[in-house]
Amino acid sequence: MPHVRSDHDIYARDGDPGIDQLTITKVNKIMPNVYGKLTAGYLEKMFAGVSGEILWKPISSSLGIGIELSQVQQRNFDMLWGLQDYQVTTGHLSAYYFFKNGFMTQLDAGQYLAGDRGYTLRVGRKFGNGWHMGAYATVTNVPFAKFGEGSYDKGIFAEIPLDWSIGSPYRTTSKIEFNVMTRDGGAKLHTPYKLHKYLFNNDKNAIYHEAGRLWK
């Protein structure tokens, strides 16, 4: 399989110092309840290109449906301006649902960075103190013997609000993700500024869930 993630140790070694991300992003409300985003540049540590996202999300609804499509090229290991030969089109159709008790589910279906196709399910819960924790699993059409240990990708993640540690209101979070091993199968593009994170953080369920923190 193309080494879309398994060379992460080479990027960490040769890309220090380097450019983690450098993008231009345009966000717009296309029509009532429909939002769009276009991003171009060095999207993440390993890939550069152009990415577009459209999300349908009524502010009063717990459901959201979105699609993201990207044309990207692999970056050089030094994480500066150069690019390697590998190019790929990647994208997913996604469904999001936010439950009133703080649980949120996300189901993605589409093509990943190595050209494999499949599904990713993420389940997480956001607590009243701002912490967000959960787990995910990905299954693609790559044969189990070729995919690697465990035959599918899985892991856990956590987002920790910085105001929890600095003692003052602050919306920035620190993200931590653990998986068994970094594989090339089921690898997603880490584009910045996901629309659903902004919209689901400001809908009626999120405001109700955060009311306790606001009162404090």
Q: Is residue 99 part of a domain?
A: yes
Q: What is the predicted pLDDT for the residue at 206?
A: 57
Name the average pLDDT for the chain. Answer: 87
What is the pLDDT averaged over residues 71-80?
A: 97
> 200: which 2 tokens?
């689901």
pTM for the model = 0.86
Q: Is residue 3 part of a domain?
A: no
What is the pLDDT averaged over residues 174-187?
A: 80
pLDDT at 134 over 80: yes
What is the pLDDT averaged over residues 34-44?
A: 97
184/40 Cα distance (integer angstroms): 23
Q: Is residue 1 part of a domain?
A: no
Q: What is the predicted pLDDT for the residue at 41?
A: 97
Count of domains in the chain? 1
What is the pLDDT averaged over residues 107-116?
A: 96
Instruction: Give 28-33's long-range contacts (Cβ < 8 A, gap of 24+).
Output: 30/54, 33/57, 33/58, 33/59
Q: Is residue 122 part of a domain?
A: yes
Q: Is residue 210 part of a domain?
A: yes
Q: Is residue 152 part of a domain?
A: yes
Express as a percent the part of the chain with pLDDT over 70. Answer: 85
What is the residue range of 174's domain? 8-215
CA distances 202 to 61, 126, 138, Å, are 11, 13, 28
Q: Is residue 2 part of a domain?
A: no
What is the pLDDT averaged over residues 55-59?
A: 91
Closest CA to 195 of 90, 24, 57, 99: 57
What is the pLDDT averaged over residues 173-190?
A: 82
Closest CA to 139 of 125, 155, 153: 153
Express as a percent the part of the chain with pLDDT over 90. Answer: 60
Q: Is residue 181 part of a domain?
A: yes
